[in-house]
Structure 1
Amino acid sequence: MYRAIILVVAGLIIIAATFSFLEKQKPTTHLLEFTAPFIYGRFNIPADNPLTEESVQLGRRLFYDPVLSSNKQISCATCHQQSLAFTDGLTTSIGVSAKPLAFNAMSLVNLLWGPRQLFWDGRSPSLEHQALLPIQDKNEMNKNLDDLVDDLVNDPIYVTLFDKAYGDINAQSIAKALANFQRTLISANSKYDKYLRGEVSLSANEEKGRKLFMAHPDVKVSLRGGNCIDCHSQFLTSGFSTAFDGFSNNGLDNDNNLPSGLYATTNNIAHKGLFKAPTLRNIAVTAPYMHDGRFKTLKEVLGHYNGGIKRSKTLSPLIIEADNIPSTQMNHISLNLTSEEEDAIIAFLHTLTDHDFLTDVQFSSPFNQEDRND
């Protein structure tokens, strides 16, 4: 008798727990009108963080909300502005401490495809992991995660949004929501994309720049090239996504001045001075350039590869080997491009600007829309 009662009670507890679990797993909506260009290749979305309408809308609001910072004045969008392809136009960003940060703000574009290691120095293995680091960094947003959760719990709008997307408000669900919004930041409607789809033609100069961009120079067969494709892989124009293949030492500094770069993450001396190869999508609006923002213009960037390369022990062999004329490598590393070839490459780089991406309301602040609706 007693055993039967115990079994019934245990069964009821299991059923109650099951309903409680299902209650937290709110019904979600597949992301509407979401498309990913097949030409970019395969991508992976974490099994425990499906791309849903609810999670993306929550992440979008969090991205633009200064509540994520200790002084409630800095949001993710402060350093990642849509009109600048989610960069900020500064040499290095400035957070709550008002001190220049260590790195230039990277563009948040086409993150769905990788590389997997994020930040200039590769210190983060996923978008979910990456999302919480700036929030907690004392110089960036300096927000205690427990305090952030308290702020969100006391906001009725966030309570509703989290309830629909993840059930609970916690650090993990905050990270997941931010990651999913960033996964939707897809740029695929530039002039170059339209060219790839057969919708437009490139000008003669843009086409010349495209061919130079795609070619590794080979003097043996008189093939001239800009060597860009060796690090900025077609068609995403970002670093390769396998392990640390997307990182390179591109000759910015000699051994005496070589910064840690990827070495700070891996503790592998062969990685000293290696930094993540950024996407070149929308590159014309993301100045200044390089991990430390040292170059103000694309002309300066091309000038670096055409005569400013500094030797170091970890300098990429792809850069050492790239030259458009023979017999110069022993004393001076240079692509030896002509001024006209530099201008052609820059003309091609301008075809990577996606004006729709820079203005799409899906990626803009939801707070602006709320103000218009009031």
Structure 2
Amino acid sequence: MKKYFLYKTLLVFTISILFFSCQKEDPNPKEKIEFKTPSNFPTPVYDLKENPVTVEGFELGRKLFYTGMLSRDGNISCGSCHAQTSGFTQHGHDLSHGIDDQLTLRNSLPIQNLAWSKNFFWDGGVFHLDLFAIAPIEADNEMGETLPNVLQKLRDTEGLQSPKTDYPLLFEKAFGTKEITTDRFLKALSQFQLMCISANSRYDKHVRNESTQENKLTTQELEGLELFEQNCSNCHSTTLFTDQSYRNNGLKVGNPNDTGRHRITQNEEDKFKFKVPSLRNVEVTRPYMHDGRFRNLEAVLDHYTDGIQDSETLDESLKAKLKIELNQEEKEAIIAFLKTLTDEDFLNNPILSEF
């Protein structure tokens, strides 16, 4: 009897440990998936009434974001060029690598705070988040697939795999029926990307008066903030750290065929103008510029102090002196400040990670 009691006690104890371990590894997403505008952010541009974020829609979008089924060979996913730990960029590559290891035209931009973006890509060629995924899916050097093929591949998973990869079942949970349409597919991807919100850096805590003794900005970082506001905020303005404009910042022309915004508008005055990128998480999104030519932040600041090239479309704010006056100590202070824009919570948020 004593032996039986001991065995029963050990069995209950083991089951309890397994239960609580599983609970820890698989937290209830319903408690975490909710779109909220950070208190220091403006009103989103994206119309959430047209596509409200739901747990089921988000989870579907998350699976779609990380599946290789969106590419021709099944090996390239959205996450291939947009890795979470690198601010959803392809870390270390000057130009992104697509299908068959082909190089893309440009360096991948981060996926963050897209609910506040007015248009997308370095040249602004897409004007709505729900249309964002079509371009990389159908680009010959990115995913090399067609949207109709992608939708059919998703339909063909019905009943063939587990409920976790039965896409018609997942679409039913998200949208009410098993029908897989272009609109539902794109809206599910948008729901995942809408939740890629970076708003909890040390800088954010500073402006919201949430800093503690451990994470408050240092004297050097505050000096860097002041220098940044004096020299950089003309373009990298607002809480988003971009004014979302297109500018020629004086780079020496690399690929003459990549004329930036001009490729979309065909206006001569837009030649070699590229979107002003957000500087949030800039510490981890290297290399920098549309072609990834600068490997570190020091090289970026060196460009603005000593490397600006004059041209007909050079931004007016740079034309007067062709340089920004900064000494080495000031550059170091600005870089120290820029590192306060790193949002560790965003970079390590498990609900945004691959399954």
For Structure 1 versus Structure 2, the TM-score category normalised by the shorter chain is: 0.7 to 0.9
Aligned residue identity for 1:352: L
- Confirm whether residue 286 of structure 1 aligns to residue 285 of structure 2: yes
**Residues 272-328 of structure 1: per-residue CA shift (max 9 Å, x gap):** 11101111111000110000000000000000001100001111111224xxxxxxx
Contact 2:122 2:290 in 1 (8 A): yes
Aligned residue identity for 1:165: A
The answer for the alignment partner of 2:52 in structure 1 is 50
1:150-165 map, 5 Å: 150-156=152-158, 157-165=166-174
Following the alignment from structure 2 to structure 1, what is the Cα–Cα distance between the partners of residues 180 and 253?
48
Aligned residue identity for 2:174: A
The answer for the alignment partner of 1:272 in structure 2 is 271
1:156-305 map, 5 Å: 156=158, 157-166=166-175, 167=177, 168-200=179-211, 201-215=216-230, 227-240=231-244, 246-253=245-252, 259-305=258-304
Following the alignment from structure 1 to structure 2, what is the Cα–Cα distance between the partners of residues 176 and 360?
22
Following the alignment from structure 2 to structure 1, what is the Cα–Cα distance between the partners of residues 72 and 143?
6
- Confirm whether residue 71 of structure 1 aligns to residue 73 of structure 2: yes
Which deviates more, 93-102 or 58-67?
Answer: 93-102
- Confirm whether residue 131 of structure 1 aligns to residue 146 of structure 2: no
Displacement of 1:138 after TM fit? 1.1
Residue ranges of structure 2 left out of the alignment (5+ in a row): 1-29, 159-165
- Confirm whether residue 352 of structure 1 aligns to residue 351 of structure 2: no
Contact 1:306 1:337 in 2 (8 A): yes
Change beyond 3 A, Cα 1:255–1:363:
closer
Following the alignment from structure 1 to structure 2, what is the Cα–Cα distance between the partners of residues 34 and 203?
32
The answer for the alignment partner of 2:328 in structure 1 is 339
Displacement of 1:256 after TM fit? 11
Residues paired across the two proteins, number: 311
The answer for the alignment partner of 1:20 in structure 2 is none
The answer for the alignment partner of 1:107 in structure 2 is 110
Residue ranges of structure 1 left out of the alignment (5+ in a row): 1-28, 216-226, 241-245, 322-328, 367-374
Contact 1:232 1:238 in 2 (8 A): yes
Contact 1:258 1:272 in 2 (8 A): no
Contact 1:254 1:312 in 2 (8 A): no
Following the alignment from structure 1 to structure 2, what is the Cα–Cα distance between the partners of residues 70 and 256?
27
**Residues 323-364 of structure 1: per-residue CA shift (max 9 Å, x gap):** xxxxxx3xxx11121100000000000000011111101100
The answer for the alignment partner of 2:121 in structure 1 is 119
Change beyond 3 A, Cα 1:305–1:58:
same
Following the alignment from structure 2 to structure 1, what is the Cα–Cα distance between the partners of residues 309 and 258?
13
Aligned residue identity for 1:144: T
Task: Give the secondary-structure state (helix, strand or coil) at the position aligned to 2:103.
Answer: coil
Contact 1:307 1:336 in 2 (8 A): no
- Confirm whether residue 83 of structure 1 aligns to residue 114 of structure 2: no
Following the alignment from structure 1 to structure 2, what is the Cα–Cα distance between the partners of residues 191 and 297?
21
Aligned residue identity for 1:49: N
Displacement of 1:238 after TM fit? 2.0
Task: Give the secondary-structure state (helix, strand or coil) at the position aligned to 1:102.
Answer: coil
Displacement of 1:31 after TM fit? 8.1
Q: Calculate the TM-score normalised by the size of structure 2.
A: 0.84
Task: Give the secondary-structure state (helix, strand or coil) at the position aligned to 2:99.
Answer: coil
1:143 to 142, 145, 149: 145
The answer for the alignment partner of 2:99 in structure 1 is 96
RMSD between aligned residues: 1.9
Following the alignment from structure 1 to structure 2, what is the Cα–Cα distance between the partners of residues 294 and 127?
27
Aligned residue identity for 1:91: D
- Confirm whether residue 364 of structure 1 aligns to residue 353 of structure 2: yes
The answer for the alignment partner of 2:7 in structure 1 is none
Contact 2:95 2:105 in 1 (8 A): yes
Contact 1:305 1:335 in 2 (8 A): yes
Which deviates more, 53-62 or 353-362?
Answer: 53-62
Following the alignment from structure 2 to structure 1, what is the Cα–Cα distance between the partners of residues 275 and 205?
27
